[in-house]
Amino acid sequence: MTSNGWQKVSIGEVAPPIQRPETPVPGKEYRQVGVRLWGQGAYEREVLDGAATQYNSLHRVEVGDIIVNKIWARNGSVSVIQKDLSGCYCSSEFPLFHPNSSALSDRWFYWMTKTRWFWAECDMASRGTTSKSRIRPEAFASISIPLPNRKEQDRIVAKLDALSARIDEARECYRQIEQEADALCRSLIHSATSATPVEMSGLVQLRPPDVEVQPDVAYEFAGVYCFGRGVFKGPTKTGMEFSYPRLTRLREGDFVYPKLMAWEGALAVVPPECDGLVVSTEFPVFEIDTNKVLPEVLDVYFRSPEVWPQLSGTSTGTNVRRRRLKPADFLQFRIPLPSRQIQFQLREIKTRMAAMRKDAESIMTELDALLPSALDKAFKGEL
């Protein structure tokens, strides 16, 4: 018994092992299921042809099954199968258990898999075994868990489900606000009747590489995400770890893209947090003439998905995956340049968005801490 009067039972008492083996058939496709670490749930992997597996059997999963990753259970790779994954398959490396519904709610166990104490129990059960600390099915089944009666389980689960739904709703609301603000910025550019087509050569100037690489010096690299997701901090490497003799140091407000992936939306203005990072010569860097165009205008324009196919046409290369956007071609690319009044309106929206994003990040940090706190209370009987 726990301090709050709940039973403690082994998992195997209320969720016995279950197997639904099928012999793989060549030519038949099998939806595969995997399990993420740290209680992040089960997910659908790539489809597998029956001829492509070395396993003699695959095991079909159904709603409510508890699925365990033998190798990574010690890192929280345990979950409960949800409706969308029913009918998928896993190998024998993923033992299955099915709750006795009169004693154990699968949702109770689902929330349990997201707690640190349960991960610690799985870690302990994995120790002392051979073969890279795989957890044996019988060891997993022996783990003790707190188990109130079904009515109490359902009451607590309902609270956790409701809290999770409110957190998801808040995240979705923020996402929609960002999408609408982005759409407004794009509409200011693309719908501006006063916009004048201008070549990029009239708005930006290519900066030459300005860093001579030294073998014993460490360099912090930047990268540019595809699909309009901006510049990011990359790895730190010493000069001995790469072959480029020169690099370009980024400055806040520069414009940059990788030659190879520009046509997939990998173009952006350098944000403050990436100021001073370096890129290789595969990343052309341009100084923006702010007397003619505000950096925010270029950032919004080149993050627009409707623009990327036009860059694909500009990029050269016979293989679609190897097209490269040369600086000379980019400088000939024409964009609709809105009036200065509209440019400053766009800057105002972007400034407000940045402030809103900062506030939202603070709220999201609080939300991220809210559910773990609730889970801790729930399995102590304090919720």
CB 119 within 8 A of CB 89: no
Residue-level pLDDT at 234: 94
Q: Mark whether 140 and 11 lie in a shared domain.
A: yes
Q: Tell me the C-alpha distance between 304 and 45, whole Å.
A: 30
CB 167 within 8 A of CB 370: yes
Using the 8-state DSSP alphabet, how is residue 107 labeled? H
Q: Mark whether 128 and 234 lie in a shared domain.
A: no
Residue-level pLDDT at 184: 82
In a domain, 2, yes or no: no
In a domain, 1, yes or no: no
Q: Mark whether 179 and 245 lie in a shared domain.
A: no
Q: Tell me the C-alpha distance between 296 and 185, whole Å.
A: 9
pTM given for the model: 0.69
Q: Mark whether 283 and 383 lie in a shared domain.
A: no
Query: What is the three-class DSSP state of 292?
Result: coil
CB-based contacts of 88, cutoff 8 Å, min separation 6: 30, 31, 32, 33, 44, 60, 61, 81
In a domain, 304, yes or no: yes
Residue-level pLDDT at 282: 96
How many folded domains does the chain comprise?
3
In a domain, 223, yes or no: yes
Record the tokens describing residue 113, joined without a space.
């898999």
Q: Tell me the C-alpha distance between 95 and 118, whole Å.
A: 17
In a domain, 39, yes or no: yes
Q: Mark whether 268 and 299 lie in a shared domain.
A: yes
In a domain, 250, yes or no: yes
Length of the chain: 383
Q: What is the mean pLDDT of each run of 10 residues along the chain (383 residues)?
A: 80 97 96 96 95 95 97 96 97 97 96 96 81 85 96 95 90 82 80 80 96 96 94 95 96 96 92 96 97 95 90 62 83 92 90 80 81 89 84
Q: Mark whether 211 and 200 lie in a shared domain.
A: yes
Q: Mark whether 252 and 333 lie in a shared domain.
A: yes
CB 337 within 8 A of CB 195: yes
Residue-level pLDDT at 178: 78
Token look-up 């030294």 returns 214
Q: Mark whether 188 and 200 lie in a shared domain.
A: no
Residue-level pLDDT at 208: 96
Range of the domain at 106: 7-147
Q: Mark whether 333 and 200 lie in a shared domain.
A: yes
Residue-level pLDDT at 271: 94
Q: Tell me the C-alpha distance between 226 and 271, whole Å.
A: 16
Q: Which residue, 124, 151, 146, is CA-closest to 135?
A: 124
Residue-level pLDDT at 188: 80
CB 38 within 8 A of CB 119: yes
Residue-level pLDDT at 351: 86
CB 135 within 8 A of CB 70: yes
Q: Mark whether 267 and 333 lie in a shared domain.
A: yes
Would you say the C-alpha torsion 266, 269, 273, 275 has a positive or negative sign? Answer: positive
Q: Mark whether 217 and 316 lie in a shared domain.
A: yes
Q: Mark whether 166 and 84 lie in a shared domain.
A: no
Q: Which residue, 103, 100, 99, is CA-closest to 113?
A: 99
Q: Tell me the C-alpha distance between 120 and 128, whole Å.
A: 14
Specify the CATH number for the domain of residue 35.
Answer: 3.90.220.20
